[in-house]
Each structure stands twice: as structure tokens, then as C-alpha cells.
Amino acid sequence: MINQGTQAWNPGTYDTQLGFVSKLGKGILDWLDPQPGEHILDLGCGTGDLAVEIAGSGAKVTGMDQSEAMIASARSKYPDITFIVGDGEQFRFEAPFDAVFSNAALHWMTNARGVIESVRDSLRGGGRFVAEFGGKGNVDVFVQAFYEVMPRYGIDPAERNPWYFPSIGEYASLLEQNGFEVTIAEHFDRPTPLPEGEKGVMHWLDGFGDAFFKGLDNADREPAKQEVYEAAKQKLQVVSGVYQADYRRIRISAVKL
């Protein structure tokens, strides 16, 4: 997932409290349409839940993630699949893949050109790149809360922001500049229910907001997190008592020329 060293990942928490990430990513598997015998890279595979879905088609899957903890969990859960630790912004493989797949990971990789060049160099000619990730405006309520609160604690949120949320035009242009033809692209709103009521908002901050709180001592960390929590909670939509994260996603499919 992230390769900047700023986000701490807890596989158990990720699976139990943030499992909606993989569940909601299953739709992009239809775009991937994996075939028996294909070799497919799952880039930013997390704890492997979508890698095993892809493998169920008969494809041979390699899952890669920057987080050693996530990879250890994936290997434990799915020992028949190959999982490796690797930097999503700079990687190479000896044998080319038929496809590279990614869900909810590319927005943690701020060097987008490095990612795209690595994907291109890891695909055979005509190989496909299929991904879903956060697009422009993604989780804007949380982003605004960080930018409002953190300066009061001596943190410049712009320096800590670990995310890359491009417009669809920006990302499609990067692909076209680097040897891909974009075949399908969508940028859409996907309000995402956070489980466990108000606790879900804090679970989200614990799971994804760590970069903004690093370096704060306990006397400041918890109050800062509570302030961000309150600021976000006031602006998030609530449907039948369930808080909705304001996700905006990009889905894109491209072919290596």
C-alpha cells in the first residue's frame, strides 16, 4: 500500500474494521476479467483478499505490498498464493505479467509516474492495467478536518498528506504519456458506510490517518485525533445512524501499446 513510510498498517484491524475496502473493490474484478493461466500482479494487495478472488479464476497471482505486516498476514491467510514485499513506485520483474491489478492502493503512491513506468515495464505487449483508487475530492471531509485541526498542533498537513487523488484527466494523460492506451475510465461518487456508528469514524482515522499524527506525544496525539474526529463527524452524511465516508473513486483500464 503506502511506500512513504508514513502510514502504520495493522492487518488485524484492517480486516475486521476496514474490510469494506476489499469488499467494495470486488466490482473492479469484472473489468480485470482474469482468465485461466494468466499471470497477474496484484499491486498493493494488502492482506490478500482480492488476490485470492483473482486466483479463483485459474490465474496465477503474485501479490505485492510495501507493508511487511500486511504481506505476513496475506501469506498466513492464503499460503498457496505468492506474496512479496515491494515498493509500488519502483519495481521490476524478470517475467512479464499479462495484467496488473490494483485496488485502493495507488492513491498511497505519490510518485504516480514511477508507478506507471514500473507497471508498463512489468507487462507484456498488449497487457492490461486495471485499477480502482481515490480520485479528486476523495474523503474531502477528512482532508479538510486534518487541514483545519493539525496546524494548532504545529503540524503542516500539506507536508504530511500521504495521498495522491488525481483527476481522471490527469491520470489518463500520465498513462498515455507512458505507453498506454486508456480503454475505459470512470470518476464517480461512492458514499461508503463506516461500520459501528460513531466508532466507525474513529476506526477510519486509526486505520488511515496515522501520517498526520506521527511525532506527536500522547499529550497531543489523542486530543488532536479527537478534534479531527469531531470536525469530520459534523460534516459526514449520516444515513439511518450510519456515517458515510465521502469516497470518490477512479476506475481505469488501460492496455500497454
pLDDT in tens, 84-132: 999 999 999 999 999 999 999 999 999 999 999 999 999 999 999 999 9
Q: Determine the pLDDT at residue 27.
A: 78
pLDDT greater than 50 at residue 10 = yes
Q: Determine the pLDDT at residue 1.
A: 39
More confident residue, 226 or 19: 226
pLDDT greater than 50 at residue 179 = yes
pLDDT greater than 70 at residue 9 = no
Q: Determine the pLDDT at residue 215.
A: 87
pLDDT digits (tens, 9 = 90+) for 23-58: 555 678 999 999 999 999 999 999 999 999 999 999
Range of the domain at 175: 11-139+161-194+247-256
Query: Which CATH number fits the domain that encloses residue 65?
Result: 3.40.50.150
Residue pair 89/114 in contact by the 8 Å Cβ criterion: yes
Q: Which of 102, 47, 89, 51 is nearest to 71 (CA)?
A: 47
Q: Determine the pLDDT at residue 24.
A: 53
- pLDDT confidence bin for 21, thresholds 50/70/90: very low
Residue pair 23/47 in contact by the 8 Å Cβ criterion: no
228 in a domain, yes or no?
no
C-alpha cell at 113: 509516474
Q: Determine the pLDDT at residue 197.
A: 84
Q: Which of 16, 118, 135 is nearest to 64 (CA)?
A: 118
127 in a domain, yes or no?
yes
How many other C-beta atoms can be found within 10 angstroms of the C-beta atom of residue 36?
8
Kindly list the distances between the CA atom of residue 180 and the CA atoms of 112, 174, 235, in Å, as whole numbers in the listed order: 14, 9, 39
Q: Determine the pLDDT at residue 3.
A: 38
C-alpha cell at 256: 500497454
- Alpha-carbon span 148 to 166, nearest angstrom: 22
151 in a domain, yes or no?
no
202 in a domain, yes or no?
no
88-92: list long-range contacts, CB under 8 Å, 24+ apart: 88/1, 88/3, 88/43, 88/44, 88/64, 88/115, 88/118, 89/3, 89/114, 89/115, 89/118, 90/114, 90/118, 91/64, 91/118, 91/122, 92/118, 92/121, 92/122
Q: Determine the pLDDT at residue 7.
A: 55
93 in a domain, yes or no?
yes
117 in a domain, yes or no?
yes
For residue 28, give the amino acid letter.
Answer: I
39 in a domain, yes or no?
yes
> Is the pTM above the cut of 0.85?
yes
Residue 240 Ramachandran class (φ > 0 left, ψ -120 to 50 alpha, else beta): left
230 in a domain, yes or no?
no
Q: Of the given ranges (9-13, 49-53, 249-253), which has the lowest mean pLDDT?
A: 9-13
Looking at the 3D structure of the chain, how many domains does it have? 1
Residue 168, H or E segment = helix 168-177
